[in-house]
Amino acid sequence: MRKKVVLAQMSTIPPTDCDKAGTIKENAKLVKQLSAIQDKLFAQNKYSVLIILQGMDTAGKDSAVKHVFSGVNPAGCNVMSFKVPTPEEAAHHFLWRVSTRCPGKGMIQIFNRSHYEEILMPLVHSTQSKAVLEARCKEINVFESGLILNNTILIKFYLHISHKEQMQRLNERRNDKSKQWKFSEEDIVDIKKHKAYKAAYEFIFKHCSQNPWLIVPADKKWYKNNQILKIIVNKLSDYTIEYPQPNMK
């Protein structure tokens, strides 16, 4: 049995001995390594990669996409940001809209938010019973296992940010002209529900960890990006991803 995840007991900051300048240099190397792996992944056309980024508002999902995948060829990588379901999406099974966006062979697909929003939001806003949501979690486990059986490499990240850092970043959104487009009054309401979101994510970790979550401290963006890069590069390095032999007659 997996140990229960208690987010309040987990750090949101880098270890005290972590060197910022050295980590940023390492990030540049890891970006190049990921780029080289992705080139082989695309050419080989055997595996697909699905990366799920979850986290509370302002946790840095957008910046992770921007920096972690900065060296990846856009032809082999797609990003999907899942917002509130459209009327058409809401009329279907809750996994319908994500199932159509899963990666094809040779591709990296990034989910900026994902099917887990269909567990998270009903829990926080009490719009579904826990029995219904536990049933959804079982469906998610089967869905993800099916992807893995079809040669999809699945990596799930939770970006762990403190309430203090959330508030600071929200104030930046409000006051910085380059970030004001992201700001809404709903952000203030949601961030005040920090504890409720923590509890909801702990529910997800308990019921949807058949394919494990990687919890990344997210108060410092340079460290968050480093951990995501390391995990992805190390995970993909476990697979035989290489250029195919030329088809020569």
- The pLDDT assigned to 160 comes to 98
Residue ranges of domains in the chain, CATH in brackets: 20-237 (3.40.50.300)
First to last CA, the chain: 54
C-alpha to C-alpha distance for 14 and 20, rounded to whole angstroms: 9
Could you tell me if 194 and 58 are in contact, meaning their C-beta atoms sit under 8 angstroms apart?
Answer: no
pTM passes above 0.85: yes
Per-residue CA distances from 107 to 75, 77, 102, 199 (Å): 8, 6, 9, 34
Query: Splitting the chain (249 residues) into consecutive groups of 10 residues, what average pLDDT does each group show?
Result: 85 97 98 98 98 96 97 96 93 96 98 97 95 97 97 98 93 78 69 90 95 97 98 98 86
Cα gap 46→242, rounded to integer Å: 10
pLDDT in the model for residue 188 = 67
Classify burial at 13, counting beta carbons within 10 Å of its beta carbon; exposed 0-12, middle 13-18, buried 19 or more. middle
Return the SS3 of 51: strand
159 by DSSP, 3-state: which?
A: strand
Inter-axis angle of helices 20-44 and 61-68, nearest 10: 70
